[in-house]
Amino acid sequence: MDIQEFKSAFKLCISQGLRSTTQILGCAVSLYFISPAMTAAMLVVVPSVILSGTLIGSLLRIMSRKAQLQSVKATTISEEAISNIRTVRAFANESLESHKFNNEVYESCRLQEQLGIGIGLFQAGTNLFLNGLVLGTLYMGGYLMASQDLSAGHLMSFLVATQTIQRSLTQLSLLFGQFVKGIQAGTRAFQYINLEPSILLTEGKQIPYHSLVADVEFKKITFAYPTRPKQVILKDFDLTIPAGKTVAIVGSSGNGKSTIASLLERFYDVNFGEIIFGGVNLTQLNPSWLRGKAIGLINQEPVLFATTVMENIRYGKPEASDKQVFEAARLANADTFIKSFPEGYNTLVGERGVTVSGGQKQRIAIARALLKDPSVLILDEATSALDTESEKIVQQALDQLTKNRTVLIIAHRLSTVKNADIIVVLNNGVIVEMGNHETLMRKKGKYWNLMNQQELDKESRNNG
């Protein structure tokens, strides 16, 4: 919307503005040769008018900015309500969302109305000045004719040139309204275009393939999100993920489990400490290569694109052949249900994969990761949103996927991490326990408490 508005305003202002400006300059030169005295009188008045117009223009730009931001706010509310329509209806909050949207639209209309009045007053003032200029020209021209300093022909020529300037200035005043709206739309667009990422995506090293099977080391990591710099998520965090081993990180919500996955993928840089992968500091590696070749991610809600099953799987490796896609789907226990679709692998999954179930979506995501064949795999709550039957099928596919590779599991459901080589228990961003399932259960510490609590919750749900 902003781009289109800027494009239209830019095209109109450039084409019409250049023509009007050229006419004004040409006629101004003609006016000087016709009557230097009358031209000088006009030049005394015009600067004050230009100054007034500049001040009014600044005010109108501020008003336009407020109106544009309010329109964006109203649009955001409507988009949010539509995208979350199931939640809105589940709480019977249609009237609430409608009321919120109506309030924002009303405020948007009020600001647009103020802007329209401001632009109208500016254009009316411009026309008033231009008409006064014509009357002033007639008065002074008549005086000069009476004193024999100007002929009737020269006066008529001066008037014609003045009226041409008047029409051109009127056109510029009309264009000014478009200019104000266009410049604000363009400002917002260029703010996004000129944003520089804090982490450059295409700079840095690439590790040779034979070095990818290596330990991942978190050394004295301290981290807080940029939006909440005072809330420390991880503090003096030390962890080594041995090559080819499965390490699970568990703990209650909000303890920094998913943050560790984000740091490993270098979506953020750490505040203090360093992450070493393949003997190289993560900050020295090329982020696009790191995410595209070395690390794979499957999260709780995998994203599917509104295209075919085939292309969604191939997204993990765009150059893969159809045969490779079929093999990845077979290993992910996805081949059978995909072939049951009327169009098979050419079936469109719909926007965000709405035509497939949660378990099917996860298996397509697993097939995508298998095709990518990363050396490090991150499973972030990969089965927590599935029912028991779907979880078993997906877990079989995950077992296939985790063979012979380094795996980091972020888990809330502890039943999925019993077979991990190392289980790390986090509490408030600090490691409080570490070991395998049997060792931690014998300790009867934090992990034991979490496991018992989940068992009690499971029994309560089954009995309820």
Same fold, 2-193 and 209-463: no
Q: Where are the domains of the chain?
A: 2-193, 209-463
- The CA distance from 414 to 454, in Å, is 8
For residues 171 and 16, the answer to whether their CB atoms sit within 8 Å is yes
The candidate with the shortest Cα–Cα distance to 248, out of 453, 374, 421, 375, is 421
From residue 332, alpha-carbon distances to 184, 189, 317, 350, 436 in Å are 50, 42, 16, 21, 27
For residues 218 and 260, the answer to whether their CB atoms sit within 8 Å is yes
Average per-residue pLDDT in the chain?
A: 79
pTM: 0.63
**CATH assignment, 209-463:** 3.40.50.300
For residues 327 and 359, the answer to whether their CB atoms sit within 8 Å is no
Containing 313, the helix (H) or strand (E) segment is: helix 309-314
Residue spans of the chain under pLDDT 50:
none
pLDDT tens digits for range 307-348: 888 999 998 888 889 999 898 888 888 888 888 888 888 988
Show the tokens assigned to 440. Answer: 């931690």
pLDDT tens digits for range 393-448: 767 777 767 777 888 888 877 777 888 888 888 888 888 888 888 888 888 888 88
Which pLDDT does position 22 carry in this prediction?
Answer: 82
pLDDT tens digits for range 85-106: 777 777 777 788 888 888 888 8
Strands 430-435 and 280-281, sheet pairing: unpaired
For residues 185 and 13, the answer to whether their CB atoms sit within 8 Å is no
- The CA distance from 41 to 48, in Å, is 13
Which pLDDT does position 274 carry in this prediction?
Answer: 92
226 Cβ contact partners less than 8 Å away, ≥ 6 residues apart: 268
Residues in the chain: 464
CATH number (3.30.70.20, 3.40.50.720, 3.40.50.300, 1.20.1560.10) of 2-193 reads 1.20.1560.10
- The CA distance from 281 to 228, in Å, is 25
Which pLDDT does position 291 carry in this prediction?
Answer: 83
Which residues share a beta bridge with 430?
427
- The CA distance from 402 to 247, in Å, is 11
